[in-house]
Amino acid sequence: MGIVLKQSFKNTLFIYLGFVFGGINTLVLYTRFLEDEYYGLVTYLLATSNILMPLIALGIHHTIVKFFSSYFTKADKDFSITYVGGFGPHRGLQTAIQAMPKVVQHIPNAKLFLIGKGSADVETKLRDIVKEFNVENSVVFVGYRPFKEVSTIMQKTNVNIIPHLANDHTDNTIPHKLFQIMMSRSLLLVSSCKPLKRIVTKYNAGIVFKADDANDFAEKVISIHQNYDEYQIKTQNAFDAVMNKGENWEQESLKLFSLYAN
Range of the domain at 213: 74-252
- Indicate the DSSP class of residue 75: G
The tens digit of pLDDT for each residue in 147-178 reads 888 888 898 899 999 999 999 999 999 998 99
CA distance 54 to 170: 58
Is residue 80 domain-shared with residue 209, that is, in the same domain? Answer: yes
Is residue 46 domain-shared with residue 95, that is, in the same domain? Answer: no
Within a domain: 147: yes
Within a domain: 185: yes
Name which of 205, 202, 208 is nearest 189 in CA terms.
208
Among 32, 67, 102, give the residue marking a domain's end.
67
The residue-averaged pLDDT of 130-147 equals: 93
Which of 46-60, 77-91, 129-143 is most confident?
Answer: 129-143
CA distance 110 to 104: 6
Predicted pLDDT of residue 13: 86
CATH number of the domain where residue 124 is located: 3.40.50.2000
The residue-averaged pLDDT of 219-223 equals: 97
Within a domain: 259: no
Domain count across the chain: 2
Is residue 85 domain-shared with residue 52, that is, in the same domain? Answer: no
Among 67, 94, 117, give the residue marking a domain's end.
67
Is residue 208 domain-shared with residue 233, that is, in the same domain? Answer: yes
Within a domain: 41: yes
Q: Which residues pair with 84 in a beta bridge?
A: 115
Lowest-pLDDT choice from 12-16, 68-72, 101-105, 150-154: 68-72
pLDDT range class, residue 207, cuts 50, 70, 90: very high
Is residue 23 domain-shared with residue 81, that is, in the same domain? Answer: no
Within a domain: 262: no
Within a domain: 257: no
Is residue 115 domain-shared with residue 233, that is, in the same domain? Answer: yes
Name which of 121, 147, 173, 155 is nearest 238 in CA terms.
155
The tens digit of pLDDT for each residue in 63-74 reads 655 555 444 444
CA–CA distances in Å: residue 221 to residues 33, 47, 82, 214: 61, 53, 12, 11
Is residue 63 domain-shared with residue 153, that is, in the same domain? Answer: no
Is residue 95 domain-shared with residue 182, that is, in the same domain? Answer: yes
